[in-house]
Structure formats: structure tokens, C-alpha cells
Structure 1
Amino acid sequence: MPKSKKESILFTSIMCFMMVFGMSAYNLLLHNAFTWGSLFGGLVPGIIVAFILDTWVVGKIAKGIAFKLPISREKMIYMILTISTLMVTGMVLCMSLFGVVFEGGIQEDMGKLYLEAIGFNFIAALPLQLLVVGPISRFILGSYQKRQAVQS
């Protein structure tokens, strides 16, 4: 886990990039609209919004809830799974709204579209986070931390 502000920014940046990339590709494929242009066209705004939400809103709430739950801190995996699940839940709620508005603007059937997006996004985001993005992000951070320790 990140031990400094610099490591936290690195970890969050990696996590946001991979999640936004993966979820954007998933949503475009889901709606038969995938092109590399459309994927990269929405990537930068998505990463910026995800980074801001992760850093200043969802991350703070998720960690606040996780540390209040009666979870054993002896095994780090329990805390990682709890925080990851809470983060995915919060980010899916926020980023689904962002995606619906970004792709189609404010629409008459916005509530229906938003609820559908939440359902479709949650079933993809949770396994993506727990099985792919989280482990890769922690591996990259761990490698960075080892290099920093050797240089010190």
C-alpha cells in the first residue's frame, strides 16, 4: 500500500488509468460502439474525473467506512478486499452517471439509463478491480517501493 503522498498519487494514477481504460472498452463493446478513436476520445476526461473522485470523495468515504467495520487488520487481504469493494461501489455510482451524461447528455430517460449503467458496470468493475487492476497496481507500486529502498 502507498506509504507517501508521491506513492499515493502513483498508485491512484495507475489504478484510474487501468480502470477507466478497461471500463470504457467494456462499455463501448457492450453498446457495439467500440473504435480506438472513441476509446481514446473519452479516456482523458474519464481519468481526470475518476482521479478527482477517487482522491477527494469516494476514496475518503470508502476508507472511512472500511476502518469503522469490525475487520481483522492482522490479514491485510481483508482490508484490501473491503476497501476495493467499497471503492468499486462508490466509483460505479459516480462514473456511471458521468458516462451516461458524457455519452448522451441530459436525457428524458436518464434515471433508467443510469440504473442500467450501474448494473452493467458493477458486474464488470468488481472482478476487473479484484482480479486484474488491483493486483497489477499493487505489483507496480511494490516494485517502485523496492527500487526506492535500494536507492536509499
Structure 2
Amino acid sequence: MPKNKFQDVIFTLIMVVVMVYAMVIYNISLDTGKLTNQVFLMAFGELPIMGIVAFFLELFIVGPLAKKLAFRLVQPGMDKMIFIVLAISAITVCLMCPLMSLAAAVLFKGGLQPELLSVWIQTAALNFPMALCWQIFFAGPLVRGIFRRLFPEKEPEAQIS
């Protein structure tokens, strides 16, 4: 996991690309009624906009808040790492999903309109199960694996007595 601010930025950037791209594909598929090869290309159009929103939300608001809330449930050094990772991941989705769904509703589903609240709630309700499953089972393990390859932890050197 990230050990300094630089690593945190890199981890967040990779996670945002993986999560946002998948969620944009999912939302376009919902809007069009099917998943086609064209949807994968269309998603690249929304990725920069939603990616920037997600990056700043995660880095400055949601990430720190998710860790603070997760550490009320689990304690680093006392609980198994898998429980810590799952707690942070689940809370991050609980916070990011409504925020990103609001951004998507405003930017891509009619903007500031009288039906915004309804569109937002529906978007968040449809997105939440996908976001949670994608994060826990695919994006999280994939991004942590990539991150470990980019920033391998050094093995402690054996002490010679």
C-alpha cells in the first residue's frame, strides 16, 4: 500500500482509471440497453471528465475520510490486512458511489433539472452493486497487484551476528 504522498497519488490515479472506466462502460450500457464493442470506445470520451472528478474527490476528501471511518472498525497492526483492505474499499465505495453518481447525473443525464434528485438516486442505486463488486473482486486486487510491481517493498536485510 502507499507509503508516502507520491505513492498515494500514483495508487489513486491507477485506481481511478480502472474504476471510472468500468463504471462508465456500465452506465453507457445501461443507457443504451446493451454492451457492444462501441461502448468501450464511447467510454473513453467520458473517462477524462469523470476521471478528474474522481481523482480529486478520492485524493482530498473520500480517501482520507474512508480511512478514518474504516479505522473505527479495524485497527492496523491488530486486524488482518484483508479486513483492513476490505473495510477501506467498502467505505470508499459507499462514499464515492453517491458522489460520482451525482456528477454523472449533472454532467451526462440532463444537468440541473427538476428531476435531478430522482435521476441521482436511480443512478446511485444502479451503480452501487456494480461499484462494490467491481472494487472488491476486480479493481482492488488488480490495482494493488500493479502497485506492488511498481513499488516493491524491500525485504529487511538479514542481520549478521
Q: What's the TM-score once normalised by structure 2's chain length? A: 0.86
What is residue 100 of structure 1 aligned with on the other side? Answer: 105
**Partner Cα distance (1:120, 1:66) in 2:** 24
Q: 2:120 aligns with which of 101, 104, 114?
A: 114
* Identical positions, percent: 36
Does the Cα contact within 8 Å between 1:71 and 1:78 map onto a contact in 2?
no
2:7 maps to amino acid: E
| Counterparts of residues 2-13 of structure 1 (less than 5 Å) | 2-13=2-13
1:76 corresponds to 2:81: yes
**Paired residue secondary structure (2:71):** helix
| Counterparts of residues 28-67 of structure 1 (less than 5 Å) | 28-32=28-32, 35-36=39-40, 38-67=42-71
Compute the displacement of 1:81 (Å): 0.4
Size of the aligned set, in residue pairs, is 149
Does the Cα contact within 8 Å between 2:97 and 2:124 map onto a contact in 1?
yes
Compute the displacement of 1:108 (Å): 1.3
RMSD across aligned C-alpha pairs, in angstroms? 1.8
What is residue 27 of structure 1 aligned with on the other side? Answer: 27
2:121 maps to amino acid: L
**Paired residue secondary structure (1:13):** helix
1:141 corresponds to 2:133: no
- C-alpha distance after superposition, 1:41-75 (max 9, x if no partner): 21101111000000111111111111122557330
- Higher Rg of the two aligned structures: 2
1:16 corresponds to 2:16: yes
**Partner Cα distance (1:16, 1:37) in 2:** 18
Q: What's the TM-score once normalised by structure 1's chain length? A: 0.90
Quick check: which one's helix share is greater?
Answer: 1
Compute the displacement of 1:40 (Å): 1.6
2:122 maps to amino acid: E
**Partner Cα distance (1:128, 1:35) in 2:** 18
**Partner Cα distance (1:123, 1:69) in 2:** 22
- The 1:70/1:41 distance shift into structure 2, 3 A limit, reads closer
What is residue 91 of structure 1 aligned with on the other side? Answer: 96
- The 1:36/1:143 distance shift into structure 2, 3 A limit, reads closer
**Partner Cα distance (1:38, 1:70) in 2:** 40
Compute the displacement of 1:87 (Å): 0.2
2:19 maps to amino acid: M
**Partner Cα distance (1:70, 1:20) in 2:** 27
User: After alignment, is 134-143 or 26-35 more displaced?
Assistant: 26-35
Does the Cα contact within 8 Å between 1:85 and 1:126 map onto a contact in 2?
yes
1:2 maps to amino acid: P
